[in-house]
Structure 1
Amino acid sequence: MGAGAKHQLVFVDRLPATLVHLRHGVTHDVLACWFSVDRSTITRAIGEVRPLLAERGCTVAAGVRLRTLGDVIDYLGVTGETGIVDGTEIRVRRPAAGRKDRDKFISGKSKQNAVKTMVLTDRDGRVLFCSPTRPGSCADITHARELRLVRLLADGPAVEILADAGYQGLGAQTGGRVVTPPHRKFKENAPEWYEEMHERQRKAHSSRRIRVEHGIAHLKNRRALARHLGRREHMSDIVQAVAGLLSHQQTADLIPPRQM
């Protein structure tokens, strides 16, 4: 107790420095000038506060936070709300030449170096959960299975999760609790009535799950998630910290102001 270097920044200064860094992507050098300290002091402060923000979880009500995917499934089961899941990618720096895992971060979708996270929102687009990041080459359905989404839905309450075509196959494994766009039965020479029906069903499903795209867009408004130029090892904490801050803001906007 009491060992190690003393803090030059008190907590009420370390917290704003971390928030500004996550929101606007301000570099450590600039923050060091603002707070009149050394760059290493800012780096140390952000490295200590960022995991604390990531552990807070997503706020859904006053004093109620969801920290794990299991908490989210239980919350949806109690409230009867529909969840919407989707994967999103965040561009990162290319690993150094010669690393064995260099190609692992290349996304098959964007053909760029990225990490991937799974975002789960409610039907209004409020962020309920952001998973730890995985390399960009990881498929959406593989990521969901690694997070034990199939087992949580099979053993948990009866909930409805809307997903895109990247999660097709989870519906059969979860007893229909994961709803994906309809499969195309005719690859060639499809009747006109089937084309019209398939397009109508696809658009109806897309209109139901569009809110998750809005939630992801709000996350990407933070410069830290637009494109990350720092260490990839910190991305999980950054994503979950930003998700927690955004969910707190979204929940606060829903609470009516106190009557004077």
Structure 2
Amino acid sequence: MGAGAKHRLVFVDRLLATLVHLRHATTHDVLACWFGVDRSTITRAIAEVRPLLAERGCTVSPGARLRTLAEVIDHLGASGKTGIIDGTEIRVRRPAAGRKDRDQCISGKNKQNAVKTMVVTDGEGRMLFCSPTRPGSCADITHARQLSGWSRSWPTDPRWRSSPTPATKAWERRPAGV
């Protein structure tokens, strides 16, 4: 046994806090109040549980799990469903002075220190994929292309179309010949 402090949240509570955070985008401060612990405890719990959930993937039907962005896009294309891709920036503290990667986190869009993550949901709002974070200086489309391993033509391929909604991009597979 180690000499460090014991977890104040059992695994089930850590899992519940993570799922509530992912589903409802509840802040760590609010979750800390609900569970009666410090915000840093919730942050640590989510950081421990998220990789476990990502490793398991997303179950879309019995026996089918989606673990990568390419698998999610292939699933949406095969099922004919609409997927919504949202690149989200999360503000972070500025890296210490003198670090070589200090400028990597500066977002070109908001001119602030941030990291980006990409979330893909289906038309009903169920999360199918959540990417690892990247520096804020990486463009959303570059992030998507690096995650999916697809060429520069994606998503400009004529089989996909974008929704007019500026905040999110909904990519929908067009029927052949349209």
| Residues 151-205 of structure 1, C-alpha deviations (whole Å, 9 max, x = no match) | 5xxxxxxxxxxxxxxx9x6345xx423434xxxxxxxxxxxxxxxxxxxxxxxx3
Gaps of 5+ in 1: 152-166, 181-204, 214-260
Q: Greater Rg, structure 1 or structure 2?
A: 1
2:117–2:131 contact (8 Å) kept in structure 1: yes
Question: What SS does the corresponding residue of 1:76 show, helix, strand or coil?
Answer: helix
Question: Does 2:10 match 1:13?
Answer: yes
Displacement of 1:107 in angstroms is 0.6
Return closer, same or farther for 1:48/1:117 CA change in 2, 3 Å cut-off. closer
C-alpha separation between the residues in 2 aligned to 1:134 and 1:5?
34
Unaligned runs of 5+ in 2: 171-178
Contact 1:8 1:41 in 2 (8 A): no
Alignment-mate amino acid for residue 76 of structure 1? L
Give the letter aligned to residue 141 of structure 2. I
Alignment-derived partner of residue 179 in structure 1: 161
Q: Distance in 2 between matches of 1:44 and 1:60?
A: 28
The superposition leaves residues 192-232 of structure 1 with CA deviations (integer Å, 9 ceiling, x where unpaired) of: xxxxxxxxxxxxx315x87768xxxxxxxxxxxxxxxxxxx
Q: How many residues align?
A: 163
Aligned to 1:196: none
TM-score (norm 1): 0.48
Write the mapping of 1:1-260 to structure 2, written as runs, cut at 5 A.
8-9=6-7, 13-17=10-14, 19-20=16-17, 22=21, 23-26=26-29, 34=36, 48-61=48-61, 64-151=64-151, 170-172=154-156, 175-180=157-162, 205-206=163-164
Contact 2:28 2:42 in 1 (8 A): no
Range with bigger deviation, 124-133 or 104-113: 124-133
Q: 1:53 to 1:106 in 2, by over 3 A?
A: same
Relative contact order, higher structure (CA 8 A, sep 6+):
1
CA distance in 1, matches of 2:161, 2:110: 25
Contact map agreement 1:20 1:26 (CA 8 A) in 2: no
Computed over aligned residues only, the root mean square deviation of the Cα atoms, in angstroms, reads 4.0
2: distance between equivalents of 1:63 and 1:112? 42
- Structure 2 CA distance for aligned equivalents of residues 123 and 34 of structure 1: 35
Distance 1:123 1:117, change over 3 A: same
Secondary structure, in 3 states, of the residue corresponding to 2:164?
helix
Q: Deviations over 1:68-122 (max 9, x none)?
A: 1132123223312132323221111111111111111111111111111222222
Bigger fraction of residues in strand: 2
Relative to structure 2, which stretch is displaced further, 74-83 or 96-105?
74-83
- Check 1:45–1:138 CA distance in 2 against 1; reply closer, same or farther (3 A cut): closer
Q: For residue 128 of structure 1, report the CA deviation from its aligned partner.
A: 1.6
In structure 2, C-alpha distance between the alignment counterparts of 1:79 and 1:18, rounded to whole Å: 30
Task: Quote the sequence identity (%).
Answer: 58
Following the alignment from structure 1 to structure 2, what is the Cα–Cα distance between the partners of residues 82 and 42?
A: 33
